Amino acid sequence: MSDLRIRLSQNAPLLTAVVVFALFYVFYNMNHPRGFSTAVLIQNSNEVFTLAMVAMAQTLPVLLGGLDLSVGAIMTLVNTIASHLLNGGPLQIIFGFIVCLAAGAACGFVNGCVVVYGRIQPIIATLATGAIFMGIALFLRPTPGGDVDGDLSWTATNDLYEIAATYGFAQDGDAAWFQPIAWIPVPLLLLILVAVCIWLPFARSVTGRTVYAVGSGEGAAFMSGLAIDRAKIAAFTLGGLFAGIGGLYLALQTSSGNADIPQAGAYTLNSIAAVVIGGTSLLGGVGSAIGSIFGALILRTISFNFRIFEIDPLMQPLFEGVVLLAAVSLGALRVLRVKNSLELFR
């Protein structure tokens, strides 16, 4: 087989997710009164970012062959921390950012340590830690509210032009060289930055490779002399960081913090759906966080379409369920091609 064919067949689930998203999104824009406009793109990016981050967070434990039920709680916890810290002078805000990201990573680190040193399965370990994180979030923010710097909130949820205009560079965003990129929504840029600057290097690092190896066969990974424990802790920590970025952004987007238990649960479950739709195997070892981003995009695009067609929003869970089932079934299509029933169990 040629290299190209091997690459295509190995990345088929991801490519399918990309194509499905493209179809859904073009369809949405064609039917939107202001379709294909910057305003729509900005709004969509805002609505997608947090779920995309939480889905990336979920990808790591899934690649290890587990599930993380605490990603929504970590996101919520960081959201409530951010609602306390993201105000005041520039230094204070920067300090707030650092604390938020560190808190997310620390939550993930705790998960990793419980899984590795407690020898507890991720799903049950994170069920427990998730409840703890949620408890801390409720303690920090018993009722919704908080104070987030207005300029920051405005610029983080708009296009690059607004950043320039608000903070006064590139001639307040009117410089000629700035125009080709001025339209880019900040959340979209952030998403790409996180994917390119954090995920891709991680996936190509030895630790990242070890995460895949553990998911594919932990015994074999151990026998190959890999640092399994370190990779697991790193995976959970990075997952916590991703979830933390999501929570931080949600605070900027809503200008507040909210320790909302149903919302945290919904994010966790949607993150699992996004990971699966994005082509990552729940058995571990196969997939990528890039796929999960597209999984999140597909889920969100479904709700965009519901909005413009004014379908009863109560139907939305049903439709999302159908898409999830279709995605899983698509993955199971190979079963039809398998002529040796034994291969189904490998």
Partner 1 sequence: MDAETRVASAPHVTLDGVTKRYGGVTALDSVDFACRLGSIHAVLGENGAGKSTLIKIMSGVVQPDEGEIRLDGKPMTFAHPAAANAKGIVCIFQELSLMSDLSVADNISISDPPRRFGLIDRKAQRRRAEQLLARIGCEDVNPLSRVRDLPLSRRQMVEIAKALAKEPTVLILDEATSALTAADVDTVFGILRRLRDDGISILTISHRMHEIEAVADRCSVFRNGRHIETFDQGARTEGEIVQMMIGREISAHFPPKPPPPEVATPMLQLSGYSWENRLKSIDLSVGAGEIVGLGGLDGQGQKELLLGLFGVLKDVSGTVTVQGKTVKIKSPQDAKKAGVDLALIPEDRKTEGLMLPMSIADNLTIASLSRLSAGPFVNPAAMTAAVEDGIKRMQIKVGSEFDPVSTLSGGNQQKVVIAKWLMTDPKIVLLNDPTRGIDVGTKQEIYRLLRDLAETGAAIILYSTDYEELIGCCDRVAVMYDGQIVRELAGAEITERNIIASALNMDEAAA
CB of 212 to partner 1, least distance (A): 6
User: Do 196 and 178 form a contact (C-beta atoms < 8 A)?
Assistant: no
121 belongs to the binding site for partner 1 (CB under 8 A)? no
Residues binding partner 1: number (CB under 8 A): 35
**Residues 277-306, interacting with partner 1 (CB under 8 A):** 281, 284-286
In angstroms, rounded to a whole number, what is the distance separating the alpha carbons of residues 144 and 258?
Answer: 4
Pick from 27, 97, 222, 319: which binds partner 1 (CB under 8 A)? 222
3 belongs to the binding site for partner 1 (CB under 8 A)? yes
Using DSSP, state whether 145 is helix, strand or coil: strand
Q: Measured from the CB atom, is 12 or 128 closer to partner 1?
A: 12
1 belongs to the binding site for partner 1 (CB under 8 A)? yes
176 belongs to the binding site for partner 1 (CB under 8 A)? no
64 belongs to the binding site for partner 1 (CB under 8 A)? no
Handedness of CA 71, 72, 74, 78 (dihedral sign): positive
Q: Measured from the CB atom, is 10 or 92 closer to partner 1?
A: 10
List the x/- string, 241-280, binding to partner 1 by CB under 8 A.
----------------------------------------
Tokens 């002399």, located at residue: 225
CB of 237 to partner 1, least distance (A): 18
Q: What's the alpha-carbon Rg for the chain, to the nearest Å?
A: 21
User: Do 327 and 276 form a contact (C-beta atoms < 8 A)?
Assistant: yes
User: Do 203 and 288 form a contact (C-beta atoms < 8 A)?
Assistant: yes
Left (φ > 0), alpha (ψ -120 to 50) or beta: where does 88 sit? left
In angstroms, rounded to a whole number, what is the distance separating the alpha carbons of residues 214 and 269?
Answer: 24
For partner 1, the binding residues (CB under 8 A) are 1, 3, 6-7, 10, 201, 204-206, 209, 212-213, 215-217, 219-227, 281, 284-286, 338-342, 345-346
